[in-house]
Amino acid sequence: MGALTLARVALICATLGLFLAPWHGLQDGLSELAAWPVGTAAPLVALLLDGSRWWLWPVALLLALAAPALLRGRAGGGLAWIGGLLVLAVLGAGYAIGLNGLQWGWLAPLLGAPPPQPSLGWGAFLVLAGGIGLFAAGQAARGRFGADAFVAFLVCGCGFLLILFVFLPLVNMLSAALYEDGRLAPAAFGARLVAPEAWSLACVTSHAGCGVVWNTLLLASLTAVISTLLGLAFALLAVRGGARGPVSAGAFRAMTILPLITPPFVVSLALIVLFGRTGIVTGLLWDWFDIPRSRWIYGLPGVLLAQVLAQAPIAFLLLDGALRAISPSLEEAASTMGARRMRVFRTVTWPLLKPALAASFLLAFVESLADFGNPLVLGGDFDVLSTRIFFAIAGARHDPGRAAALALLLLAITFGAFALQALWLGKRRYTTVTGKGDSGIPAPLPKGLKFTCAAVAWPWMIFTAAVYGIILVGGFVHDIGRGDLSFTWRHLGTGFEVGWFDGAPAFIGSAWDSLFTTIQVAAISAPLTAGLGILLAWLIARQNFPGRRGLEFMTMLSFAIPGTVVGVSYIMAFNVPPVELTGTALILVICFVFRNLPVGVRGGIAALAQIDKSLDEASATMGGGAFATLRRVVLPLLRPAIVTALAYSFVTAMTAVSAVIFLVSARHNLATVYIVGRVEAGEMALAIAYSTVLIVIMLGMVLGIEKLVGRARLGRGSAPTIPSGA
């Protein structure tokens, strides 16, 4: 695509936004279009002519400046200035003038007292898209981005989206901590950061609780350590312990899949059924051993147990892959030198596992920080930052400034964990697989270590099976919590009853609306996440342009931000003009896209690392531009990465709760939020039944994707047949 073609398409897009599309958002949906071209559906040109939006005349004048050159077939570098000013004019006016009139008081001498201005609509976004296109065309005309207009537009467009939906919400939320009653209050900000609710150590000297920062750090640290050790025990048994056969392989495989497709708080429901005051195990202990009933499951022990159940399988996946990647030749060399098995493990295997151990610990630590569902269900009096942030927004004391300050503390802990991991690993190299042939045999585990791993792993496997068995059975019996195990369809009927009215099926169960909304949002967001992620991966891995590292940082920023912080930032950024999205399904889609974007990006970069750049160069030599190379060469080779990103995005959108619990509405509710509501209402059986339905849907999705794509196979599957006459 040439710069002139892009500029003309951008101008047409902006012109449509100026003359045809409604400039402001339609509050009552498409029915307002009946009033076009006046009223709430009026395009910008009508608003300019009647004088109600006189401050937006620069938008029309900038488009008028771009038109003559493009009509004459010229696309110069001046288009970059026009496009950039166009974007600034639209967004600047939107932020400066809101529902209460002028928001930026320093503009009063220039603008006076303009009338209120609603949020931007499709017309404004078409003009913004046109402005970005003009800016990219101008940059390409100057020779930037390899003079390729397609690459320039992708970089500028992706950068704009990341700034709008990742960077600005975060900055907006963190800045809210500086304000009190609409005024800048640095003293209030400092008081929020050092408040006793965050840093109190009263639990050391009394029976009072500690601050939520210490609770959060304690929970995350314990979860990370225990999950990593359990994952290591399973990985050592699977790779070096001789755990073979269909039973072991199937058990390990199920352990890795189930947590990925289980809503994050559903394990908490099973733990309550087992260990709650009227739970199965609690009742048996009372009947058999006279152990009094208690509520020990509510608090740190229960939340810790639920988080370890969710994170240990992920640690196993990471450590299993790391163990299989260690070259056996080093261990074999140590054995040849006379080292015993334990010494080989301690001096060779263990040091080489250091990066995987760090990654496992970090992932479990960060996921514990971000977890919202388990502390909400099992926390009791044990508060953590994620739940305290939620109640600062949704509780009786609506205090966005306090929520922002707590979110800042949570974000600081997250970035601190990343920094400590980098410091611990240092700059050492851990490469063991080279281009040389390797016929070494992995060193077996020392007998004592193998026995220890088995003593830890198999009881935990049995316990995990019991927990997930409760989830799968609990929705189909009358009351599993009180021991009534008689079969019933009642709970499924309450949520998913189907009736007949006028000869047509009617979905009258209470859960259908949330299920349909969840599937719809997941089905829309998954391809968008995968597509945008792969495009960004291609730009980062294959193109050189100014700001490439900054673009990569913004793509990974959403991964480092806990889900609760993302939800708070979205509700604060998009609750008022110029971009007002709260209460719509669109904000759910956008949240999922940019929350899960790093998976598509990292998966695409990893896949591109295996594709030789000479293929791209060959396409360019044959006259193919960047767009043709991407479409005909790169994308066909990235099929497994694309499908993996699709599956992960779909499953994550089906199970997420922390980021979206602030964003759902009565009209657009999600399955996980519905389940949380049933738990709070005491309807455990219905919540478990709904969770079972979700697990079945996502299990079918994951297995279908795996069947469609298959597994990567490196090397020969069997020895070649040698002809007898050779």
* Predicted confidence (pLDDT) per residue in 413-434, tens digit: 888 887 887 777 655 544 444 4
Other CB atoms within 10 A of residue 28 CB? 7
DSSP label at residue 113: S
Q: Quick one: CA dihedral 654, 659, 665, 666, positive or negative? A: positive
Between CA 571 and CA 475 the distance in angstroms is 34
Same domain, 226 and 363: yes
pLDDT of residue 606: 67
* Nearby residues of 2 by Cβ (< 8 Å), 6 or more positions away: 75, 140, 149
φ/ψ of residue 445, rounded to 5: -70, 145
> Which pLDDT band holds residue 437 (cuts at 50, 70, 90)?
very low
CATH number at residue 245: 1.10.3720.10
> Which pLDDT band holds residue 225 (cuts at 50, 70, 90)?
very high
Please say whether the beta carbons of 538 and 608 come within 8 A.
yes
Same domain, 333 and 207: yes
pLDDT tens-digit readout, 8-19: 999 999 999 999
Predicted confidence (pLDDT) at residue 687 exceeds the cutoff of 50: yes
Please say whether the beta carbons of 622 and 193 come within 8 A.
no
Number of domains the chain is built from: 3
Domain around 260:
203-427+443-469
pLDDT of residue 704: 73
> Which pLDDT band holds residue 658 (cuts at 50, 70, 90)?
confident
DSSP label at residue 166: I
**Residue 432 domain-assigned?**
no
State yes or no: cis peptide before 22, omega within 30 of 0.
no
pLDDT tens-digit readout, 567-589: 888 988 898 889 998 888 899 99
pLDDT of residue 591: 92
Same domain, 108 and 254: no
Most confident by average pLDDT, 49-63, 199-213, 237-251, 476-490: 49-63
pLDDT tens-digit readout, 355-387: 788 878 888 898 898 888 889 889 888 999 988
pLDDT tens-digit readout, 110-150: 888 888 899 999 999 999 999 999 999 999 998 888 888 99
Same domain, 97 and 243: no
Token pair of 698 as six digits:
């996502």
* Nearby residues of 711 by Cβ (< 8 Å), 6 or more positions away: none
DSSP label at residue 178: T
**Residue 40 domain-assigned?**
yes
Same domain, 531 and 642: yes
Please say whether the beta carbons of 254 and 461 come within 8 A.
no
Between CA 227 and CA 315 the distance in angstroms is 6
Same domain, 464 and 537: no
pLDDT of residue 721: 45
Same domain, 465 and 577: no
**Residue 120 domain-assigned?**
yes
Same domain, 222 and 302: yes
> Which pLDDT band holds residue 662 (cuts at 50, 70, 90)?
confident
What is the chain's alpha carbon radius of gyration, rounded to the nearest angstrom?
A: 29
> Which among 127, 142, 157 is the end of a domain?
142
Same domain, 268 and 412: yes
State yes or no: cis peptide before 578, omega within 30 of 0.
yes
Same domain, 301 and 389: yes
Other CB atoms within 10 A of residue 376 CB? 22
Between CA 672 and CA 654 the distance in angstroms is 8
pLDDT of residue 443: 63
Helix (H, G, I), strand (E, B) or coil at 505: strand
**Residue 151 domain-assigned?**
no
Token pair of 684 as six digits:
């455990």
Predicted confidence (pLDDT) at residue 186 exceeds the cutoff of 90: no
**Residue 527 domain-assigned?**
yes
pLDDT tens-digit readout, 501-557: 777 778 888 889 999 999 999 989 988 998 898 899 889 888 888 888 888 888 877
Q: How many CA atoms lie within 13 A of 420 on its CB side?
A: 13
Please say whether the beta carbons of 642 and 668 come within 8 A.
no
What is the pTM (predicted TM-score) of this model? Answer: 0.81
Other CB atoms within 10 A of residue 161 CB? 18
Q: What is the mean pLDDT of residues 335-340?
A: 61
Write the DSSP string, 282-334.
Answer: HHHHHHHH-PPP--TTSSHHHHHHHHHHHHHHHHHHHHHHHHHHS-HHHHHHH
Between CA 627 and CA 70 the distance in angstroms is 22
Same domain, 451 and 522: no
Q: Quick one: CA dihedral 225, 228, 230, 236, positive or negative? A: negative
DSSP label at residue 116: P
**Residue 164 domain-assigned?**
no
pLDDT of residue 219: 95
* Nearby residues of 645 by Cβ (< 8 Å), 6 or more positions away: 529, 530, 533, 534, 599, 600, 603, 604
Q: What is the mean pLDDT of residues 236-252?
A: 65
Same domain, 327 and 415: yes
**Residue 184 domain-assigned?**
no
Token pair of 645 as six digits:
């990103």
**Residue 507 domain-assigned?**
no
pLDDT tens-digit readout, 379-418: 888 999 988 988 888 766 778 888 888 888 988 888 888 7
pLDDT of residue 490: 87
> Which among 107, 123, 142 is the end of a domain?
142
Between CA 87 and CA 269 the distance in angstroms is 49
Residue type, 266: V
Between CA 698 and CA 692 the distance in angstroms is 10
* Nearby residues of 667 by Cβ (< 8 Å), 6 or more positions away: 583
